[in-house]
Amino acid sequence: MDINSIYIIKRDTGMCMYHKDFTGTAFDPQLLSSFLVAMTSFFDEATRSVKSQARAFEGSDYTILVEFGEWTLGAISTKGDSANIRKKLKRTIEKFEDQFSVLKWVDLDLAVQTRFEQRVIDEFIREKIAPETLITVKSEWEHYTKRPDVISFLRLIPAICAVKDAAEFLEVPVEIALNLAAEALWEGAIQVANPVKPDDIYQTTALTHEDDALVDLSPEAARALTELDGETPLSIAAERVRTVDMKRFLEEVAFLEQRKMVELVTPSQAVVVRYSSALQTLLTNFGNIIGFNVTRNIFFDAREELVDQYPWLGFVALEEGVDIEMKSSLLSATLKGTIAPDVLDDGLRVLMQFITRRVRDLMGKGPVNRVLAHTKDEIELRFPSTVYQIEWESFQV
Amino acid sequence: MKKIDWRNPVLVISVGMVILIASLLLTTTGNDTLLFVIMAFLTPLVALLLGVFGLQIYGRDSGSKDDRFNAFNYWFAIGLIMLSLAEIAGVLVSLSLNPQQMILVIALAQLPGLLLWGIGIIQYLRSLNAALGYVKPNNLLIGLFLATTLSTISLIVVIVTQYPTIGIIESIVLSPIVAGLTLFVIIVFALVWIFRKGSLARPLFLILLALLLYLIRCSLWLFADAGLEAPTDRVIAVEAFILCGTALLMARNLGTIDT
């Protein structure tokens, strides 16, 4: 997620109540807030709309996303529009209005910058930190932070280490180490890098197709490029290129990522890939027991029940037998991030629940739960770290 | 919503009941010869009709050659057709050969049909095991092979030692059939038990009953003196075929919502 800066602005006065710059490229808060309030008022007037219409403003290498609260307006400067970032911004605005509701009526100094920063850390920073995340402490970190807990944390840990190793070293729970690392990142005292994992999904970028792209690449890296299609987890890609050393394969992918020849897929796309693998395996296992025709009928009945609530499910279909097909419209929406990952997660989870409930009537509870357990084991081989992001317990009958 | 077609299974079961009642009536009134003649025509005819009907349903494109449940029903349908041919051969052979030769020829004629049933059951069991993950696939095949071999050898040994009146050739020909059918009964019973709380258990239960009746029939050939010539032999066969055919028709209704 490439966020440059975030602003929360009071709509009627145009005053910027909160702002945070992540990359040192922020606009002047008051300048930006005046611009946004003026432009949104212009669009509302021009369209004679009661509900505010303006959503985004594009620059050459940035986009300012705008979301509206009851009496505030939130803006984020980011690389590109995505439903995921918009959801986070919307949540941030709601939390701000809830925490500082008195500011709707009066302008007071409520130490907003310091009091609200934990919410912003939780929303935008915390997700970048996982137990495997590598922390690199900056050489003069003492100048970046004044927080006593962060100072204690950074003073004791090695210059480069994983968060879980830091937790072990300090003998604290991993959750505390994660929060401290998030605060240190917020202060700018550390840099983080998430190691490439076997269940990450990568896709090639435009740089891959340049003439000199493959120069200096090892044969393994060049072969890996052919498998990174945005739908295959690295564990499967490694099998396909017949690599014997998984660690080396992941290093090759990390090298390609550094050269910007590959990039992680969007969170929405990752959700779709993970769920479609799980759904495919589940349908195949059910089909092996009750027959493919029956399984297809169950799938289409379930989809018909849910398509009113999740219209995009209409783009999930079955090809021959029980082979899942995600139509290109849905795939391109996930690529662009126009459907939020939690919406996809919700819809696909409910679809799988419907299917398991129907199959329970045919097979009984025991076999269905056993198939679910077996399916989870198969998916864990492909997505060892992220398999539990699917709520398997909710499918139990 | 698709409508469930209950007419065909009910019709077939009704025919089975009528045949059973008629057979009982004819047996109790001493009309064994009449019963024998009627069943000589009816048994192969029922098997052939149900087999062809089953082939019409499951011989059509199932959507994938990997659909093992469809294949299971398909093999049972073809098996019925093969058994109908075996029944016809049995009738012709019974007119000319002595009882001992008759049993051997009929048993050998039944083998292809029973083998096809066996293929359907084993294939379905393998795919079920792949989905449920009970046993490693290789261990399953080895287990089945060992069970069949050991039970056949054990049965031959038991017959030779305990039933010396039964010919050695008869026991060698019929023991694998009885052992194989016993294994099928055990497997299908296990399937019925696994799916006992679901509607999939219903057609499987009928298949189980069909296999059980056929096992009784083959056991009577082996152990009873007048097994093949008894009028009840073909009554058992036709009821087994009817149960099998009803199962095929019921399986077609799986997954459809009752309207």
The dihedral through the CA atoms of A23, A24, A29, A33 has a sign that is negative
Checking if the pLDDT of B150 tops 70, the result is: yes
- Binned at pLDDT 50, 70 and 90, residue B258 comes out as very low
H-helix or E-strand spanning residue A117 = helix A112-120
Would you call B198 and A367 a contact, using CB atoms and an 8 Å cutoff?
yes
What is the pLDDT averaged over residues A105-117? Answer: 83
Residues spanned by the domain of A58: 3-126
Residues A111 and A42 occupy one common structural domain: yes
How much is the pLDDT for B154? 92
| CATH number for the domain that contains residue B225 | 1.20.1070
Helix (H, G, I), strand (E, B) or coil at A134: strand
Q: Residue A366 carries which side chain, given as an amino acid letter?
A: G
Checking if the pLDDT of B186 tops 90, the result is: yes
Distance CA A355, CA A363 (A): 12
Distance CA B107, CA B86 (A): 8
The 10 Å CB-count burial string (b at 16+, else e) for A241-252 is bebeeeeebbeb
CB of B30 within 8 Å of a chain A CB? The answer is no
Centre a 10 Å sphere on the Cβ of residue A391 and count the other Cβ atoms it contains: 12
- Binned at pLDDT 50, 70 and 90, residue B121 comes out as very high
Residues A391 and A281 occupy one common structural domain: yes
What is the pLDDT averaged over residues B218-226? Answer: 80
Distance CA A229, CA A246 (A): 18
Share of residues in chain B with pLDDT > 90 (%): 39
Nearest to B94 by CA among B85, B102, B84: B102
Residues A9 and A101 occupy one common structural domain: yes
| A/B interface, count of CB pairs below 8 Å | 99
- Binned at pLDDT 50, 70 and 90, residue B225 comes out as low
H-helix or E-strand spanning residue A100 = none
Q: What is the pLDDT of residues A301-317, one digit of tens each?
A: 999 999 999 999 999 99
Checking if the pLDDT of B259 tops 50, the result is: no
Would you call B64 and A321 a contact, using CB atoms and an 8 Å cutoff?
yes
Centre a 10 Å sphere on the Cβ of residue A395 and count the other Cβ atoms it contains: 21
| Helix A163-170 / helix A148-156 crossing angle, nearest 10 deg | 90
Distance CA A185, CA A248 (A): 29
Asked if residue A290 lies in contact with residue A359, where contact means CB atoms within 8 angstroms, the answer is: yes
CB of B32 within 8 Å of a chain A CB? The answer is no
Contacts of B236 (CB under 8 A, 6+ apart): B213, B214, B216, B217, B220
Instruction: For residue A379, list chain B residues with Cβ-Cβ distance below 8 A.
Output: none
Would you call B133 and A365 a contact, using CB atoms and an 8 Å cutoff?
no
Checking if the pLDDT of B64 tops 90, the result is: no
Residues A289 and A247 occupy one common structural domain: no
pLDDT, chain A, mean: 87
H-helix or E-strand spanning residue A69 = none
What is the pLDDT averaged over residues A223-242? Answer: 85
Residues A246 and A310 occupy one common structural domain: no
Residue A136 bridge partners (DSSP): A160, A191
Residues A258 and A297 occupy one common structural domain: no
Q: What is the pLDDT of residues A13-22, one digit of tens each?
A: 888 999 988 8
Residues spanned by the domain of B74: 7-252
Q: What are phi and psi of A10, to 5 degrees?
A: -80, 130
CB of B67 within 8 Å of a chain A CB? The answer is yes
Residues A274 and A289 occupy one common structural domain: yes
What are the tokens at A82? 């995505």
Q: Residue A180 carries which side chain, given as an amino acid letter?
A: L
In a domain, B1, yes or no: no
What is the pLDDT averaged over residues A371-381? Answer: 92
Q: What is the pLDDT of residues A170-225, one digit of tens each?
A: 999 999 999 999 999 988 899 888 888 888 899 888 776 666 666 667 777 778 78
Residues A259 and A274 occupy one common structural domain: no
Residue A77 bridge partners (DSSP): A5, A64
Closest CA in chain A for residue B202: A362
Facing residue for B199 by CB, picked from A361, A371, A374: A361
CB of A249 within 8 Å of a chain B CB? The answer is no
CA distances from A14 to A25, A38, A77 (A): 21, 8, 17
Q: What is the pLDDT of residues B38-62, one digit of tens each?
A: 888 899 999 999 999 898 888 875 5
Query: Last residue of a domain, which of A173, A193, A213?
Result: A193
Residue with the bigger pLDDT between B227 and A218: it is A218
In a domain, B257, yes or no: no
Based on the structure, what is the number of domains in chain B? 1
How much is the pLDDT for A303? 95
Query: For testing the chain B interface, which of A280, A282, A285, A294 should be mutated: the one with the most B CBs within 10 Å?
Result: A294
Would you call A364 and B70 a contact, using CB atoms and an 8 Å cutoff?
no
Residues A286 and A387 occupy one common structural domain: yes
Checking if the pLDDT of A350 tops 90, the result is: yes
Residues A176 and A66 occupy one common structural domain: no
Query: Last residue of a domain, which of A193, A214, A245?
Result: A193
CB of B23 within 8 Å of a chain A CB? The answer is no
Checking if the pLDDT of B128 tops 80, the result is: yes
Radius of gyration of chain B (CA): 19
CA distances from B162 to A317, B17, B104, B156, B166 (A): 62, 37, 21, 10, 9
Q: Residue A276 carries which side chain, given as an amino acid letter?
A: S
Q: What is the pLDDT of residues B16-26, one digit of tens each?
A: 999 999 999 98
For the question of an ipTM over 0.90, the answer is no
Checking if the pLDDT of B182 tops 50, the result is: yes
Q: What is the pLDDT of residues A62-90, one digit of tens each?
A: 888 889 888 998 999 888 777 888 888 99
Checking if the pLDDT of B74 tops 50, the result is: yes
Based on the structure, what is the number of domains in chain A? 4
In a domain, B258, yes or no: no
How much is the pLDDT for B90? 83
Query: Last residue of a domain, which of A162, A193, A224?
Result: A193
In a domain, B221, yes or no: yes
**Which residue's entry shows tokens 């970028």?**
A205
Query: For testing the chain B interface, which of A283, A292, A300, A305 should be mutated: the one with the most B CBs within 10 Å?
Result: A292
Q: How many CA atoms lie within 13 A of A23 on its CB side?
A: 14
In a domain, B259, yes or no: no
CB of A374 within 8 Å of a chain B CB? The answer is yes
Checking if the pLDDT of A299 tops 90, the result is: yes
How much is the pLDDT for A314? 94
CB of A297 within 8 Å of a chain B CB? The answer is yes
Residues A243 and A255 occupy one common structural domain: yes
Residues A162 and A256 occupy one common structural domain: no
